[in-house]
Amino acid sequence: MKGASTAVDISKIRGAQETRFEDSVAVEEPLELQICSPTATGSAAKSISITMRTPGDDIDLALGFLAGEAIIADASEVLSAEHCGEADPETGFRNTVRVELHPDTRFDFDRLKRHFYTTSSCGVCGKSSIEALRINTHPAIDSAFCICREKLLELPGKLRAHQAVFDRTGGLHAAAAFDSQGDIIVAREDVGRHNAVDKVIGSLLRDGRLPAGDLGILVSGRASFELVQKAWVAGMPLLAAVSAPSSLAVRLAQESAMTLVGFLRDPGFNIYTGAQRIVEKK
């Protein structure tokens, strides 16, 4: 991912020894998301979010965010999605993406209310209340998707093979969509775990694969409420995390009839909901 890391000079301390060293750190830059729709918001573009992200796959990030907010469900609802504005003179990054929606796309702009700044570590910090997060218009997931235990256990290793920037910096989260054979379909990295998931979902949307009832999603960190919500809205029947889920994540997975896996690390894992989708053999 071009521009995802940068070199810095550091002092490396090991016991009593100090060494000057050039290290790689993950790039973190703000991304402003603007939308415009003649019928829904007026002809002028309106800013709906600023998130701190790792530059790269910004269009996927924007589209995945809109899909996760249930604003769009199909690529046909998007007339255009592109960077706009001047590049930052210091970094060279263009930090605004504007999405023009089809005039027939309807949504309640007020429902998108959040503080103008959200942190890279948590995509829901700016939400006005927990109730504003719930996407009640989506039915419970009805999918025959299943995967065998052996293939599930192989996924973290496969994801690591896609984490080139993490290898250089140790500072990025990752997410990947995978099929029932345990093959990774698309993988993305970002300084924010919710951004990595948005990038994956945005890529699937552009490829016409939403709702993704035939795919699961793997995240490199913990399973939060918001990540379960994003997977649910995308129609994905299984979310697996290499770390722990939160109580709200488990509750939402139960409500959505999603399979939720945590602590996915060889030689085992925990199944919190939807155990029927994980089989011993296929």
Both structure tokens of 13: 């301390």
Partners of residue 123 on adjacent β-strands: none
Both structure tokens of 56: 């790269």
Contact 233, 211 (CB under 8 A): no
Residues 6+ apart with CB under 8 A from 46: 34, 35, 36, 109
Other Cβ atoms closer than 10 A to 241: 28
- Phi, psi for 269 (deg, rounded to 5): -165, 170
122 classed as catalytic:
yes
Judge if the upstream peptide bond of residue 211 is cis by omega within 30 degrees of 0: yes
Nearest to 219 by CA among 156, 143, 131, 142: 156
Give me the catalytic one of 122, 125, 146, 148.
Answer: 122
- Say how far apart CA 198 and CA 203 lie, in whole Å: 8
R_g over Cα of the chain: 19
Q: Catalytic positions, please?
A: 122
